[in-house]
Amino acid sequence: MVVHLTGGCLCGAITYSLDYEPGDVADVCFCRECRKASGAAAVPWVQVPPGRFCVTKGAARGYASSPQAMRWFCGDCGSPLYMTDSEGRSVGVMLGSLDEPEAIRPTVQGWVCERISWQALDESLPAYDKAPPYDL
């Protein structure tokens, strides 16, 4: 069953929509790059094919955080929103930027080796020391 979701930045300058399907990768990432880009100890994401994601208002600014990844954010309020890969395989949408963030629950945790010591793991979810095997 496809679930249509919307989201956007804090100031409302950028909005997007995505179609989530059961089985789409949803994870919590503890890597240093996600921490620095978000200002949070961990970042929950969902990865969808580019054809199921669309910016519906405004234009996000991009930052190449690695040769493989472009992180997109609002140039006005600074809200981090999504990430794309250099090969165009997926769009990683930050769950906190969804209008209804509880609509998607992460099912796995990645980059646990870079987790801040006081950040708790969800013991009910599988955890990978580095990149999970599905990571795009």
109-118 pLDDT tens trace? 999 999 999 9
* pLDDT, average across residues 36-47: 96
Domain boundaries, the chain: 3-114
- For residue 11, CA distances in Å to 18, 57, 74, 87 come to 19, 12, 9, 30
Instruction: Give DSSP secondary structure letters for 89-124.
Output: --EEEEGGGBSSGGGS---EEE-GGG--TTSPP-TT
CATH class of 3-114: mainly beta
pLDDT tens profile 59-110: 999 999 999 899 999 999 999 999 999 999 999 999 999 999 999 999 999 9
